[in-house]
Amino acid sequence: MRSSELDEFVERVRERSDIYSVVSQYVPLTQKSGRYWGRCPFHNEKTASFTVNADKGLFYCFGCGAGGDVFKFLSLIENVKYFEAIKLQAGRLGIELPARKLSPEEDRRRREEKILLKLNELAQDFYHECLIKTARGEVGRKYLAGRGISAETIETFKLGFAPDEWENLVNRFTRQDFTPQQLEAVGLVAKRKNSSGYYDRFRRRVMIPIADIHGHVVGFGGRILQSDDDTAPKYLNTPETVLFNKRNLLFGLDKSARAINAAGAAIVVEGYMDAISLFSAGVKNVVATLGTAFTPEHAKLILRYAKKIIFCYDSDEAGQRATVRALPIVQAEGAEVFVVKVPDGKDPDEFIRKHGKTAFDKLTQNAATLIDYRMKYVLARAELDTVQGKIRALQEILPVVVKITDSVTRNEYTKKIASALVFDEQLVIDAWNKFLKQSEQTTADEPEKKSSAVKRPRLAEESKPTIREACEVILRMIWHEPDMLEYVLAVVSNENFSAAHKEIIAYIKNCVERGARPDQFGAAEILSDEATAQLSRILMNGSDDPRTSEMQLFNDSIQIMKRAALKKRYNELMAQAKAYISSDEDIYAKMVYESLELKHQIDKLKVN
């Protein structure tokens, strides 16, 4: 809901936000012809087509059509909603969001959440200090050094060490006025079963802080070093809390999100140490699951930043089974899926420490597609010496290959499958078509699902550049001079405006009816990404005062639009008249006369 306080807040953030300073933090920019140019961060390109107009506070990419103001840029680059981008920028500038009065329950929950986050932050500092500054942390330092983890990486991830003591952390924090119940709520301590009191959950473990996408520490993973208890788990995570839910978290995403966006791909590994090793070796676009199966929520998190997901799980049987389970989940969310199988039975951590980043990069560059990996996995485990074994293998392969729509690719995989199973190609084709029909029927019976994949804005395809340019001139005029909207709607047919243009017109009309002026914030709340990008292009390419500098251009554009509408009617009449040449001369003559009248009007509207 808009309010004067909120509008004032947005305007203060906008006034203090220099689009060049913001964009240049993400994109190297070079000044040319009064604008700044760079390679677009929203699609892969070799030639710079991304431009920033600092005076107007707008950006636009002539390659993919992304465009808007400084907040729209932040919303796209950080993959957050428009208003979240405003709040993000406000936080960077130290501008406080107008307070909304909370209910007593909301206020209680928010205060409690702040306490729990503070506890995790203090625990992170405590474990980190134990590792790098105390004698007790020597065993942790030796372990990390043996894994090739540098001091810089320890600092980047704030790695720590939990000493082998039962009540060190609980005693320290209760002396700081935190309650045992609060420590238990955040998963740092546990209640004793057979007596009163609490004990530290993490002991004699290397500690790995786990953060959400905003960088808030929400939990920990602890890697045990030595223990007399053979039943103690090798890795111990924070239990489920109000802050920590493994289904919705990926380790390292807070640090790798920007690299994932830049690379257009995320590498998913199984363990913390795999992710930390790859990151410290220079492979920055990496995340890890938290000892749980890959979930649709994980896929959606990644798809906010890139559409390509490369799985690089351990090459043992357990790792390969986990990969197979994850593939349909990711495919269902609309991702492009690839799989790396680390050679020699190694995990990613071992491989990169032994062979280095260049060798690992080659593995990812040669990653198998989901289809090829699935085929190889199934065939390696199938009983191909029996007909039933071959049929089962075919049924396991079909769910992934059936999604192929390109006829050439489909034909190639038909041949591959038939050859591998020693089946006649027609048998594979018949089974493929039957499975496809069943899948389509199942889909038709289910509620429609929207893909969570990020859709980048694209330009509408107008048929004639001159008409498109005329549309943009007219829209720029009515944006800056809304009082001219009524005239435009009266003399110009909207049939030559694109769908995005019509959105902009509808927004301006709504503003006029409310007695308000159009503004970028209000537009961004209502317009689609495509319409927002089109609006940026329109405003960037012309004057901020078109009534004094573009009036002749505006009048010419009106004429062009009128001519376009008349031409369309003229062509329609001529096409209809042909049907009456032999059947009804009177109607034919009448329609030709009307056409000639239209032609005369068209000629009178020629732009000088």
The secondary structure of 174-185, three-state, reads: HCCCCCHHHHHH
Query: How many other β-carbons are positioned within 10 Å of the β-carbon of residue 582?
Result: 8
Say if residue 597's pLDDT is above 70.
no
Say if residue 138's pLDDT is above 80.
yes
Which pLDDT belongs to residue 292? 80
Evaluate the CA torsion angle 322, 328, 334, 335 in order and state its sign.
positive
Q: How confident is the model at residue 317 (pLDDT cuts 50, 70, 90)?
A: confident
Q: How confident is the model at residue 443 (pLDDT cuts 50, 70, 90)?
A: very low
Say if residue 517's pLDDT is above 70.
yes
Q: How far apart are CA 18 and CA 478, in angstroms?
A: 26
Q: How confident is the model at residue 222 (pLDDT cuts 50, 70, 90)?
A: very high
User: Distance from CA of residue 462 to its chain's centroid?
Assistant: 28
Q: How far apart are CA 102 and CA 107, in angstroms?
A: 6
Q: How far apart are CA 503 and CA 523, in angstroms?
A: 10
- Kindly list the distances between the CA atom of residue 275 and the CA atoms of 102, 272, 348, in Å, as whole numbers in the listed order: 40, 5, 8
Which pLDDT belongs to residue 388? 84
Burial of 388 (C-beta count, 10 Å sphere; 0-12/13-18/19+): exposed
Query: How many other β-carbons are positioned within 10 Å of the β-carbon of residue 89?
Result: 20
Give the CATH architecture of domain 4-79: Alpha-Beta Complex (3.90)
Least confident of 43-47, 125-129, 292-296, 467-471: 43-47
In this structure, whether the domain defined by 465-604 belongs to CATH 1.10.860.10 is answered with yes
Q: How far apart are CA 517 and CA 142, in angstroms?
A: 65
Which pLDDT belongs to residue 103? 77
Contact 367, 338 (CB under 8 A): yes
Contact 178, 383 (CB under 8 A): no
Contact 161, 132 (CB under 8 A): no
Average pLDDT over residues 28-42: 87
Element of type H or E holding 510: helix 499-514
Query: How many other β-carbons are positioned within 10 Å of the β-carbon of residue 15?
Result: 9
Burial of 12 (C-beta count, 10 Å sphere; 0-12/13-18/19+): middle
Q: How far apart are CA 252 and CA 301, in angstroms?
A: 12
Q: How far apart are CA 469 and CA 487, in angstroms?
A: 19
Say if residue 595's pLDDT is above 70.
no
CA atoms within 13 A on the CB side of 29: 23
Q: How far does the chain reach from its first CA to its final CA, in angstroms?
A: 48
Element of type H or E holding 589: helix 585-604
Contact 324, 297 (CB under 8 A): no
Which pLDDT belongs to residue 71? 92
Which pLDDT belongs to residue 244? 93
Fold of 104-244: DNA primase DNAg catalytic core, N-terminal domain (3.90.980)
Which pLDDT belongs to residue 418? 86
Average pLDDT over residues 150-171: 94
Residue 164's φ and ψ, nearest 5 degrees, are: -80, 65
Say if residue 445's pLDDT is above 60.
no
Q: How far apart are CA 176 and CA 607, in angstroms?
A: 79
Nearby residues of 523 by Cβ (< 8 Å), 6 or more positions away: 504, 507, 532, 535
Most trustworthy range by pLDDT among 143-152, 378-387, 457-466, 482-491: 143-152
Contact 346, 315 (CB under 8 A): yes
Which pLDDT belongs to residue 100? 66
Burial 458-467 (b: 16+ CB within 10 A, else e): ebeebeeeeb
Give the CATH architecture of domain 248-373: 3-Layer(aba) Sandwich (3.40)
Q: How confident is the model at residue 594 (pLDDT cuts 50, 70, 90)?
A: low
Which pLDDT belongs to residue 558? 85
Which pLDDT belongs to residue 606? 59
For helices 407-421 and 370-381, the axis angle rounded to 10 degrees is 10
pTM for the whole structure? 0.62
Q: Which long-range contacts (CB under 8 A, 24 or more apart) does 169-178 make?
A: 169/123, 169/126, 169/200, 169/202, 170/198, 170/199, 170/200, 172/126, 173/119, 173/122, 173/123, 176/122, 178/115, 178/119
Average pLDDT over residues 121-140: 95
Contact 297, 333 (CB under 8 A): no
Contact 531, 500 (CB under 8 A): yes
Structure tokens at 471: 């549309």
Q: How far apart are CA 240 and CA 185, in angstroms?
A: 9
Tell me the sheet residues that pair with 60. Answer: 51, 67
Evaluate the CA torsion angle 453, 458, 463, 467 in order and state its sign.
positive
Q: How confident is the model at residue 97 (pLDDT cuts 50, 70, 90)?
A: confident
Contact 71, 81 (CB under 8 A): no
Residue 449's φ and ψ, nearest 5 degrees, are: -110, 135
Give domain limits for the chain.
4-79, 104-244, 248-373, 382-445, 465-604
Element of type H or E holding 337: strand 336-339
Structure tokens at 204: 């004699």
Which pLDDT belongs to residue 204? 93
